[in-house]
Structure 1
């Protein structure tokens, strides 16, 4: 589950412009726990006749006390500020009331999460044409920071990060407060886990054991995590019917996922969860925008079942049953006069058309997986395509159009199946035809899909 962000056609020029400029920048951030405020500065080592600063559209209402270290003036400029005759080595300084921002956001949420949790786009200003920055963050004793930024070697209460700039409307999430922190190392990458609040030792042990299991499941796609550093923010939200209530993947200023949980639930309740594997599965594809939501959510929904079966969180038979049930719900949720799938994807949040979009996309990935495996005798599937895309194209972050993504997968696999199926599915005004999923159909291919590379798995 994730917020659909800006369309790819807007984001590609943004990324190209930043890559061409590459101006270095340095943030210094100091957090005050008593007032829940952040003192910030941004220093640039290059002079400019006119330097512009901005965050997202909400930033002008969230930052205050902007000054230049030179004492020269600043001018409001649309959603940002402009500074004339910027000097090499000069710094912009400001203050942000993170507590106020976080509390306002919490009041709008049905999940009632507590803590200082913000989107940095609302208070962390960037200079125009700066593609990346390093940050030094000073925190009070006992206060932790969870951010999607890449950690650098640090000592004491001072933390260092590298931040890749992304478009301002790519959601990110930062939490500051008393949290339990740990790192889960897996082949290919690290999950930087922060558990909000003060879970008791038994709850913490249970949560970490669950996260280790789901991260193991993610590695069964092709043997490793696809990205080197991933923020995992676990937010307790009180007593709930399910152990995991909601999840969200984010791509702003790095890769992260947020999981809203009831930490009091037992280990068995967490073992039944599918949300964490779903959100981790979003790491395997690039940002595809609203037009490609059916591809992105379909892949994550397909993998949430396949990867759980491969890792033993489900049996293969249970995974096939979950897929069959989802396809039935997707078919029931598709109206007779449905818009083309790509249009439904664009309208998904406004029209709440999640079930049709998610499960139509899942049917696409199953169809492609079956095509590849039938052609290769079960040896090659979408895992191989995603692994090759990881090796060439997944980092650094950039937006991809759905067409460019599927065409690159075809090129990497020397096939036409991804784009051919994409052209078929994107215009569908009905739910896709799904192959029979009973155990008597394609037994060898079914087994190959639910088996990790080099592993063995039964249908029981």
Structure 2
């Protein structure tokens, strides 16, 4: 074997090892797809998991069940998805079986649901934390893996926060109460984006203490080492983030947010301060 061929082989092996997933995916209902569709869907989901691992690190579970719900007709590439909590946690994806691979990879839904796997199941009144975190991390993951630009990242955050602020006018009450009844109230915009505002504030507060402070994404990556704790709940989660960041930022913000009836004030200047 000549030197050029040997070099190409080494580079190929290195590329494959870097692209290898650290976790096994166990597909359900895979045979409902044609061979070509299976290839597209498998590539899409592995791409999403790899992008999430690049930003948030390996998940602290042995494998991920992936329940596939292909649709013959849908206005969106992924009209609906959810996390199925269990042992282990998994994801359920309702998607257009005819969507192109590139279209699926640009859709935000998969990154959002994978992000949910990085935090424990929280109480109903704290869904604003879990949905806000997943929404925030979904955008960070898409940015850091080149799926969206920094300009798009900032605009997505600003547009979402504006929707949350607008809906707060009609979905009134304490955030914890609105969060508990999010589905019946149809208050997703207020709940999700109040949570995003929480993590933006935390991000900025950590940065103000020291420029080298870990980002929210880095803290979630570190948190994976503690996911096997059976006593996980909101207090445990928030306390662990404080412990990992050597601060009281998350606890102080949490105590403020659960009682608030207004929408948090986040400016464009603050969004520009985010370190991504």
User: Normalization by structure 2: what TM-score?
Assistant: 0.86
Are 1:417 and 2:249 an aligned pair? Answer: yes
**Structure 1: gaps spanning 5 or more residues:** 1-183, 451-460
CA deviation after TM superposition for structure 1 residue 227, in Å: 2.8
Given candidates 394, 401, 404, the residue that maps to 2:227 is 394
Question: Larger helix proportion, structure 1 or 2?
Answer: 2
Distance 1:434 1:304 in 2: 19
CA deviation after TM superposition for structure 1 residue 216, in Å: 1.5
Alignment correspondent of 1:212: 46
Judge conservation of contact 2:61–2:88 (CA < 8 Å) in 1: no
Alignment correspondent of 1:434: 266
* Superposed CA offset, 1:394-415 (max 9, x none): 1255541x23321222123220
Alignment correspondent of 1:186: 21
Distance 1:427 1:377 in 2: 30
Distance 2:100 2:176 in 1: 40
**Structure 2: gaps spanning 5 or more residues:** 1-18
Distance 2:221 2:171 in 1: 38
What is the aligned-residue RMSD (CA, Å)?
Answer: 2.1
1:140-289 pair list within 5 angstroms: 186-187=21-22, 189-289=23-123
Instruction: Report which of the two structures shows the higher radius of gyration computed on alpha carbons.
Output: 1
Judge conservation of contact 1:286–1:398 (CA < 8 Å) in 2: no
Alignment correspondent of 1:296: 130
Q: Answer 1 or 2: higher relative contact order, Cα 8 Å, separation at least 6.
A: 2
CA deviation after TM superposition for structure 1 residue 336, in Å: 6.2
Given candidates 204, 211, 221, the residue that maps to 1:370 is 204
Judge conservation of contact 1:216–1:311 (CA < 8 Å) in 2: no
Judge conservation of contact 1:233–1:259 (CA < 8 Å) in 2: yes
User: Normalization by structure 1: what TM-score?
Assistant: 0.53
Alignment correspondent of 2:235: 403
CA deviation after TM superposition for structure 1 residue 339, in Å: 0.7
Distance 2:204 2:108 in 1: 23
